[in-house]
């Protein structure tokens, strides 16, 4: 019998599989398809202080081995998330949930984090300082070590709950930014968010996305994500949540050997709504295949 349990910032997960923010809604939508309590947890849709319609359409573009998205943080705003979305989630999900927080100023992050951290259902706050699909804020905080540290220091004062900072791969020194976040009080790091990309229509000779650029995700980014998780997990002493192109139980093991304490599954949920469930179900078989009795034993094994 294998042991799939892992620890993430002091909270035990039944397994390390976490659907990524923006690919799993607020959870209850997927609960119509299967019992989502089989998951370790999930990171709900990126939430901002005020409601956001998001970017103009088209927002999605197909790519080889992946996709581009420029949704632009569409969400109903933190107040409605608390009064409408979380009560519906509580009916179908009985574990701590990860709240994903986005903002356009330090004050935005503080306001939204404080409100979400006060919710009993919320176990972790994933602070997204890396969204490439919005103008102003977002990724600009995640590309500068000092600005990243400013956000972390400010939200740290609002809660004792674990803060996991979501980083952008669109930088030259991701390990340096991770160290700045750790020094400012982060309890964990999650990475990678999407890579910047674009497509051009040959018929119109214009960008396919209304936003011109978008975030590239899917299996093609896995080697890049793996390399960055490896680098960051060696650079910091806090847990790392790895994501980027994960679509199988084998990918989960590889990402954990690179140093991830848990993993997030993103684009795979958009092509197959049962992807995360199937990865969870397949983990014991793949662990036995490679002689792994406890998942926690392989974290950082490649170091």
Indicate which residues carry an active-site annotation: 131
Distance CA 16, CA 8 (A): 9
Q: Are 13 and 40 in contact (CB under 8 A)?
A: yes
CA nearest to 281, candidates 91, 34, 93 = 34
Distance CA 2, CA 283 (A): 9
DSSP state of 55: S
| Class of residue 166 by CB neighbours under 10 A (exposed 0-12, middle 13-18, buried 19+) | buried
Q: How far does the chain reach from its first CA to its final CA, in angstroms?
A: 26
Q: Which residues of 168-202 are buried (b: 16+ CB within 10 A; e: fewer)?
A: bbbbeebbebbbbbbebebbbbbbbbbbbbbbeee
CA nearest to 55, candidates 138, 174, 150, 128 = 138
């Amino acid at each position: 019998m294998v042991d799939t349990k892992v620890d993430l910032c002091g909270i035990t997960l039944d397994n390390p599989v976490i659907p990524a923010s923006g690919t799993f809604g607020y959870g209850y939508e997927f609960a119509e398809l299967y019992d989502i309590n089989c998951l370790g947890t999930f990171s709900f849709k990126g939430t901002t202080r005020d409601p956001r319609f998001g970017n103009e359409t088209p927002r999605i573009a197909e790519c080889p081995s992946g996709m581009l998205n420029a949704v632009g943080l569409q969400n109903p705003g933190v107040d409605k998330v608390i009064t409408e979305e979380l009560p519906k989630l509580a009916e179908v999900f009985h574990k701590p949930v990860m709240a994903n927080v986005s903002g356009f100023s330090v004050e935005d992050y503080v306001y939204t984090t404080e409100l979400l951290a006060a919710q009993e259902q919320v176990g972790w706050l994933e602070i997204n300082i890396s969204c490439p699909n919005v103008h102003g804020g977002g990724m600009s905080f995640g590309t500068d070590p000092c600005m990243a540290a400013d956000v972390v220091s400010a939200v740290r004062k609002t809660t004792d709950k674990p803060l996991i900072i979501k980083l952008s791969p669109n930088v030259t020194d991701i390990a340096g930014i991770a160290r700045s976040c750790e020094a400012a009080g982060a309890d964990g790091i999650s990475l990678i968010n999407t890579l910047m990309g674009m497509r051009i229509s040959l018929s119109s000779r214009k960008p396919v996305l209304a936003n011109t650029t978008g975030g590239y995700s899917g299996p093609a980014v896995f080697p890049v994500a793996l390399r960055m998780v490896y680098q960051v997990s060696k650079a910091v002493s806090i847990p790392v949540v790895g994501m980027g192109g994960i679509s199988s139980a084998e990918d989960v093991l590889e990402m954990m050997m690179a140093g991830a304490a848990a993993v997030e599954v993103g684009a795979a949920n958009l092509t197959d709504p049962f992807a995360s469930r199937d990865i969870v179900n397949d983990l014991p078989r793949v662990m036995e295949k490679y002689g792994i009795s406890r998942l926690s034993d392989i974290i950082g094994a490649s170091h």
